[in-house]
Structure 1
Amino acid sequence: MTTIDELWTDRRLPVRDALHFPGDGGSYDVVRDPYVLGCLGVREAFDAPKVIAEDPEWLTTLMPLEEVPLEDGGFLWGGEGSWGSEGFFARVGADDSLRWVVFFTDSNPFEDPIDLSDGYATFRSSADLSFIVDIEDPRRPVRSPRPRGQTPSA
């Protein structure tokens, strides 16, 4: 079990803008993509256990506020951290096991209803920040969705 897995069992994460995967899936710095509205900018991987070892008290506790069930029995969550400015969104399994989680220190809580369409989810915070992510892997670039009812041209 990795450090992130252990923290997840207590619904805790390091206080750092990051995307985390369970097991050895890694941790990545994240930003709001400045070039594409609503896109998550995934940056360099970092060593989460090292960061936590350097400051083991610099952790936050996650509180889910919004939930959307998925066909596989899992859920998408939106919520907040211990401080008022923090927010997160995540995909969890039917047993609440972590699939991935994105945490921001200054987004405010992700408490608005989660929109799910064609494998993409839109998460909105109370600070009016929006992120559209591929629910299978938020590192994947977001494709522009087609308007409903429109078919691709040949």
Structure 2
Amino acid sequence: MTKILALWDRQTLPIKDGIYFATGDSISFSTQFYPQLFIKKGKPFNLNLFLSEDPDNITSIDIIKKIALNDGNNCYLGEGSYGSEGFIAYLTSENALKWVIYFETSNPFINAIELPNNFLIVQSSANFKITIELNNPINLVLSKN
């Protein structure tokens, strides 16, 4: 079992902006949500090494919304325990994690609208949206509500 799957099973996530794949791959993001929207894909990193250097750098999560998608899979939206955090998770129809995106200062993600061709628009409580291609979630697009 990969580290992200173990964390997800305990309803926790690492406190590091990025996308975490069930395979164990992790990619960092540089982000800014206020006053301007900015997101840039960073570099792959080793989650095991990141947490071995600071094992307490995790947050508990609360799932705010579960959405059944047309492809049979599921999207979970929520927040971390510090209030300013948000996450978006994509799970199989059996609720096995495929990937999860975490942002430390996005505020909670509260709603999502499914679009054709496996795209999803996710809304933050901080008045912005993220468009995600479910099968290639690395290319995110931020926009104002």
Question: 2 CA distance for matches of 1:109 and 1:131?
Answer: 12
Question: 2 CA distance for matches of 1:40 and 1:66?
Answer: 24
Q: Write 1 or 2 for the structure with the bigger share of strand.
A: 2
Q: Supply the RMSD in Å over aligned alpha carbons.
A: 2.2
Q: How big is the shift at 1:140?
A: 4.1
Q: How big is the shift at 1:135?
A: 0.9
Give the match's secondary structure for 1:19. strand
Contact 1:38 1:130 survives alignment (8 Å): no
Match of 2:10 in 1: 10
Match of 2:120 in 1: 121
Q: Deviations over 1:23-69 (max 9, x none)?
A: 23x101123499xx988532210111001111111101121112221
Segments of 4+ moved more than 4 angstroms: 37-40
Q: Which runs of 5+ in 2 are unaligned?
A: none
In the comparison of the two structures, how many residue pairs are matched?
Answer: 138
Contact 1:123 1:130 survives alignment (8 Å): yes
Question: 1 CA distance for matches of 2:54 and 2:139?
Answer: 30
- Counterpart amino acid of residue 9 in structure 1: D
- Counterpart amino acid of residue 50 in structure 2: V
Q: Which runs of 5+ in 1 are unaligned?
A: 143-154
- Counterpart amino acid of residue 113 in structure 2: D
Larger Rg: 1 or 2?
Answer: 1
Match of 1:27 in 2: 26
Contact 2:131 2:140 survives alignment (8 Å): no
1:43 aligns with 2:49: no
